[in-house]
Structure 1
Amino acid sequence: MTDGFTEIVHKILQRSDVHVDAIPSLDLYIDQIITLLDQELGNNKRNEKDKILTKTMVNNYSKQGILKPIKGKKYSKDHIIQMLIIYSLKNTLSIEEIKRILQPIYKLSDENNVDLSHIYDHYLELKEDKKEVMAVAIDTILRDEKLNLARDEDRLVMVLCLCALSEFSKSVAQELIDQYYPIK
């Protein structure tokens, strides 16, 4: 890869995740959760002023039914995991798509003690394993001999190709949602 692009890919590969063992077992107020996620996921921000999570977001997630209702004013570890799952999905999927996926899982977790922390840990493990696969795919595009990344036109082609990879992945996810979580 060209040095500048190598640095970009390396930076993205270094983005943080919040692992289940980093989440306190004590119930937390929303301000404490916002602080925790900002500290743990701060290097995922594109701009310093970006917000990982806000009170408004949490209220909207609750109203939309993608975050289980709380008892009192504190959120449990399970709620924090729900917020992390939503955070992982929201930049790609619509709230309605997220709702279609999560509501059956929440129902299962209520009825059969399905452990969200296990699901989230499994996701993080797969995500970590597949980072290199994505880096190789990006490297393959960068190494295309028809691209000269010193040229604006070819950098545009690169951005278009990267967006196409993203769109392809999003379309596959949406097809899975449509197949396994049909609109009722």
Structure 2
Amino acid sequence: MEDIEKLIDELQLYNHLTPEDIPDLDLYMDQVIQLFEKKYQDTKRNDDEKVLTKTMINNYAKGKLFFPITNKKYSQAHVLLISLIYQLKGALSISDIKTVLDKLNQKVVDDGFDLDSFYRSYIHLSEQNADTFLNHTKSSAKAVEDITNNLDEEDLAYLEKVLLITSFVNMSNFYRRAAEKLVDEIAEKKNNK
């Protein structure tokens, strides 16, 4: 159980880029990268991993995942969209992310949509999801107690990790598949217009 608590701490489930983290002035690409690296450096799997690169941002721009920048500078809205892309890319394809964000980008550009409030709602939901995840993790760890007959501490720790891995992958698959279904609904609605 001690290993699980350490794992949970390392995941930094409540670490989000917030609107307050973003300066009130437009940023150059290098500044955007520095902002993400600083915020998410402790969430990287290893030291060689990059949170965000120029190539990634350029690919997002070419793929029209966010509205065009002005004078090589990224507004707060751009940074918030890049943050959403950063979170979505772990589970969705770039094509799916484009489908999801197309209308949101359009609303920001055409209607002056309040992306800040939308993003704050996303953070609120993320924190609720983190709470659910913590509860799930603790109940999964307790499940190992049912199979503890004649196991030494090392075997018990190993089996606990295997159960958690299978449980996490299972939940991840549920959520990814549900997200893909919703993406398909957005795409279908868009194609029928």
- TM-score normalised over the length of structure 2: 0.87
Q: 1:160 to 1:71 in 2, by over 3 A?
A: same
CA contact (8 A) 2:14 2:127 kept: no
Distance in 1 separating the partners of 2:21 and 2:67: 21
- Structure number with the higher helix fraction is 2
Shift of 1:92: 0.8
Stretch deviating more after TM superposition (164-173 or 122-131): 122-131
Shift of 1:21: 1.3
1:34-45 residue pairs with structure 2 within 5 A? Answer: 34-45=33-44
CA contact (8 A) 2:28 2:74 kept: yes
Shift of 1:130: 2.8
Q: Which residue of 2 aligns with 1:65?
A: 64
Alignment length, in residue pairs?
183
Give percent identity, aligned residues only.
28
| Structure 2 gap segments, 5+ residues each | none
- 3-state DSSP of counterpart to 1:143: helix
Distance in 2 separating the partners of 1:154 and 1:118: 40
Distance in 2 separating the partners of 1:13 and 1:49: 19
* Pair 1:10 & 2:9 matched: yes
Query: Alpha-carbon deviations, 1:49-106, whole Å to 9, x = none?
Result: 2111100001110111112211221111111111101001001111011001100111
| Structure 1 gap segments, 5+ residues each | none
1:10-29 residue pairs with structure 2 within 5 A? Answer: 10-14=9-13, 16-29=15-28
Q: Which residue of 2 aligns with 1:76?
A: 75
Stretch deviating more after TM superposition (69-78 or 48-57): 69-78
Q: Which residue of 1 aligns with 2:132?
A: 133
* Pair 1:159 & 2:165 matched: yes
Q: Which residue of 1 aligns with 2:142?
A: 143
Distance in 2 separating the partners of 1:55 and 1:97: 21
CA contact (8 A) 1:89 1:98 kept: yes
CA contact (8 A) 1:13 1:131 kept: no
| Bigger radius of gyration | 2
CA contact (8 A) 1:100 1:177 kept: yes
- 3-state DSSP of counterpart to 1:181: helix
CA contact (8 A) 1:28 1:74 kept: yes
Distance in 2 separating the partners of 1:22 and 1:34: 13
Shift of 1:170: 0.9
- TM-score normalised over the length of structure 1: 0.91
CA contact (8 A) 2:88 2:97 kept: yes
Query: Alpha-carbon deviations, 1:103-139, whole Å to 9, x = none?
Result: 0111122222112121111111121133121111111
